[in-house]
Amino acid sequence: MMKVDLNGSWKMKKVQDKEWIEATVPGSVLWDLLAAEKIPDPFYRDNEDFVKEWTKFDYQYEREFHVDSKLMACDRIVLSTKGLDTLADLFINGESIITTDNMHRSYEVDIKPNVQEGSNTIAVTFFSPTNYTKKLLKEFPDVWNTLNGPMPGISQIRKAHYMFGWDWGPQLPDMGIWRDIAVEGYENGRLEDIYITQHHKDGEVTLMIDVKVSHFGDRDTPLEGEVHLTDPSGKKQVVGIPTVHGKEQVEIQVENPQLWWPNGYGKQPLYEVEVLLKYDDTVIDCKEMKIGLRTIEVNREKDEWGEAFEFVVNGVDLFAMGANYIPEDNLLTRKSGYTTENLIQDCVDANFNCIRVWGGGIYPSDHFYDLCDEYGLIVWQDFMFACATYQLTDEFKETVKEEAVDNIRRLRHHASLGLWCGNNEMEEAWEGWDFPKPDYLREDYLELFEKILPEIVKREDPNTFYWPASPSSGGGFDDPNDPNRGDVHYWQVWHGKKPFTEYRNFYFRFCSEFGFESLPSMKTIEEFTVPEDRNLFSHVMEKHQKNEAGNGLILHYLSQYLKYPEDFESLVYASQVLQAEAIKYGVEHWRRHRGRCMGSTYWQMNDCWPVSSWSSVDYYGRWKALHYAAKKFYAPVLLSCEEEGTEASLTLTNDTRDLVVGDVHWQLCSHDGTVLSRGSQEVEVEALSAKKIVEMDFTKDLKRQWDSDKDEVEVHSYAGTDGSVEFDNGSALRKTYLHFYFEQDGNILSEGTTLFVPPKHFDWLDPKISVNVEELEDQFVVRLTSSAFVKFVFLDLTEADCKFNNNYFDLVPHREFVVSIWKESLSKKEYSLADLKRQLKIQTVYDLEVKRN
């Protein structure tokens, strides 16, 4: 195969303009306009509105390319486009080649009649998607899409829905050549398709590799093939294919197979498969891919609670722990301040083993899936349909079929691919949301998601599970959000204003969406605002809050949980504490009921621009409190507490494949650290299970404390908003906390604290935190001690960015707490101990008290 790479330097302009500007491919209109300083940064202040106007124009891209005599002599010359966004006419040497209407698929067209030896010109005209949606509204009056952010009329255009706005994203429908483009020449034949099936039995693995070829020119010309399998150590097995005719199958018995496991369950060894097509001992085409040896199934067996829904990997039932992934930017080829690898590493650092690719965005790049393979993240892969109805015209049906085949063939070999899911929230919407619902569109829904897509998956990737929608109980509009079957999206905590403890009333089989908003990091806010913008209800902050009720809901939950912050920076801190605590309530509860519930992917992992949202990592890659909390509540071994009134229980969840043995310790303490009671217990928890360790009633301990404080024993009580019990002024509950931890061989694997009243009612003492900072070869070490109990201790640097190994932690009195900062995580690589000491700042929940005085 010969190739002329068309990536790189192009020129572009508005169709009606004469002036050309430099352009880069892969890229986009808005990215090129920004680079040429024709538009301001659309993410700064309220520039979104101005830049959106530029999406109402049509644009032209153009460049020259050279074709030599060898390429011209090829039997077939094709133009291969991996991503055109979206409505485009493509010309070569002034001749129309193809018209496209789907950014989610690739296009390939024979251009041998259109090219000439020497210089050639390629031009692409992109038509405004903003204008096109207005036409679609008139042409398809019955179709609907959610109006909670997006422009109307977007469902019939096969373009990433989120680009038109969402309740966390801006309305910036970009366009352009967003993935690779090339001219390719083939002689005698080419590899069309490779599909690998794995057979696992008794520790042995056999690969069945289906090879499909196209034969050009003289069909009697003999073509040969070879399959190379290289194991993680570099050892190679080679199997030849003496004669290739159309489709052949090769069998390889893998020597000493090494299994691939999700993160936390084992290692991720990868094998390289290389398929060569030869003519007369010369390689004329080659395809390479990496695979992991594993089985992934979705168990839906009926049980005592209803019907299971769980990933089973290599025969091991997996509790899925992760979050939902959205596109990383609205300008898809823009450098975002952190790479996809940084983001995937953030997932691994927070103990994820799963990530859901949400259906309103894009099918991510090959690199994304390579990283998920490498780091061990099971991918829940939505097809790109979300929160809309779709009318199945012949043209629409054909392009979505091609889209599905393209992406299935591109992604199906990945070890990380866990399931294909038809859409996001459309089955649920048909049953419970308020929008026009003509019968023929309901029938179109069933045809697309319960006939067309499953049939394509069965044909193209029969080894991967298909699920019709998220949430769903299995399809057919049969109670799609049933808590006892399938997967659930639960939003009563947040949209429904239910307290955090409401999560404990549900034992979902798999909760694939639930979330809670917070503001982004203060440094991120400073990047898109000026000082006068830094008020929750300023014009600019509201432009960067796309959920209409969002700011009000943050304040609603703030009133239930914390004291009102005095300044904006404290409000940012408080909002992140609320977010972390809310999600922790849900995840810890479901993990305590491992076996019944087997999955938690919160909404959402990341942002596509700087915004108040449900993300745990903001647009610039800064970890919010939630992401630090996820590192703890997704830990493979988790000790968690469930409190109610003066009672509490401790449960140890073991999500490893080994027996866990150690000691659980607990102590009831006064806010100054005085121990009121304590206990410990040796424990053994079987692999892949959860075990309640102890149930405690602290009424007598608290009564003794009340007596010692000369408080009345007979006090009035009432139920708090979070289900706790609160007492009159001076009651011990307001100055008592429970500290607990699991210890193994002298190491604390999991630790936590619990209050019996909301933090706003706790009697906080000045913790008088002392700090000592040391420098080691590869890290800085921060040592902290306090004289009184304090929660949610937040460390930050005033100027540089870094990642702490722990943050938003609790300090118990008179015990040293150690936090590390790896030097490689610092945004300023050359960083002295004096710099760090000068910039280090500390914020705690106690500060919400003292700042008011």
- Using 50, 70 and 90 to split pLDDT, how confident is the model at 339? confident
Q: Is the pLDDT of residue 337 over 70?
A: no
Over range 420-429, report the average pLDDT. Answer: 97
Q: Which of 80-84, 111-115, 847-851 has the lowest mean pLDDT?
A: 847-851
Q: Is the pLDDT of residue 318 over 90?
A: yes
How many CA atoms within 13 Å lie on the side-chain side of 307? 11
State residue 67 phi and psi, 5-degree precision.
-120, 120
Q: Is the pLDDT of residue 729 over 50?
A: no
pTM: 0.95
Question: Both tokens of residue 339?
Answer: 């790479």
What is the structure's pLDDT at 824?
Answer: 87
Ordered structural domains, the chain, with CATH:
2-184 (2.60.120.260), 188-291 (2.60.40.10), 296-330+339-633 (3.20.20.80), 636-763 (2.60.40.10), 764-853 (2.60.40.10)
Q: Is the pLDDT of residue 710 over 50?
A: no
Q: For residues 283 and 709, which has the higher predicted lDDT (pLDDT)? A: 283
Mean pLDDT of the residues in the chain: 94
Kindly report whether the peptide bond that precedes residue 26 is cis, defined as omega within 30 degrees of 0.
yes
Question: Tokens 């330097």 map to which residue?
Answer: 9
State residue 746 phi and psi, 5-degree precision.
80, 0
Per cent of the chain over pLDDT 90 is 89
Q: Which of 580, 600, 601, 603 is nearest to 591 (CA)?
A: 600
Over range 494-512, report the average pLDDT. Answer: 97
Contact in structure between 793 and 806 (CB atoms under 8 Å): no
- Using 50, 70 and 90 to split pLDDT, how confident is the model at 649? very high
Over range 818-847, report the average pLDDT. Answer: 90
Contact in structure between 528 and 544 (CB atoms under 8 Å): yes
What is the structure's pLDDT at 719?
Answer: 33
What is the structure's pLDDT at 715?
Answer: 34
Over range 812-819, report the average pLDDT. Answer: 95
Contact in structure between 129 and 87 (CB atoms under 8 Å): yes
Distances (CA, A) of 771 to 367, 397, 748, 767, 841: 42, 63, 22, 12, 10
Over range 212-229, report the average pLDDT. Answer: 86
Q: pLDDT tens, 637-648?
A: 999 999 998 899
Q: pLDDT tens, 346-384?
A: 999 999 999 999 999 999 999 999 999 999 999 999 999
How many CA atoms within 13 Å lie on the side-chain side of 810? 21
Over range 232-248, report the average pLDDT. Answer: 92
Over range 730-746, report the average pLDDT. Answer: 90
Q: Is the pLDDT of residue 70 over 60?
A: yes
- Using 50, 70 and 90 to split pLDDT, how confident is the model at 245? confident
Distances (CA, A) of 644 to 275, 590, 633, 722, 782: 61, 17, 20, 9, 35
Give the type of residue at 381: Q
Contact in structure between 53 and 548 (CB atoms under 8 Å): no
Q: pLDDT tens, 83-94?
A: 999 999 999 999
Q: Is the pLDDT of residue 853 over 70?
A: no
Q: Is the pLDDT of residue 716 over 80?
A: no
Contact in structure between 761 and 726 (CB atoms under 8 Å): yes
For the annotated catalytic residues, the residue numbers are 425
What is the structure's pLDDT at 233?
Answer: 96
DSSP run (H or E) holding 13 = strand 8-14
Distance CA 735, CA 709 (A): 11
Distance CA 137, CA 122 (A): 33
Q: pLDDT tens, 832-841?
A: 899 899 999 9
Q: pLDDT tens, 582-626?
A: 999 999 999 999 999 999 999 999 999 999 999 999 999 999 999
Q: Is the pLDDT of residue 333 over 90?
A: no
Over range 130-140, report the average pLDDT. Answer: 95
Question: Both tokens of residue 744?
Answer: 């193994």
- Using 50, 70 and 90 to split pLDDT, how confident is the model at 852? low
Distance CA 497, CA 768 (A): 36
In this structure, the strands spanning 164-166 and 169-171 are antiparallel
Distance CA 189, CA 147 (A): 49
Look at the chain and count its residues.
853
Distance CA 509, CA 851 (A): 44
What is the structure's pLDDT at 389?
Answer: 97
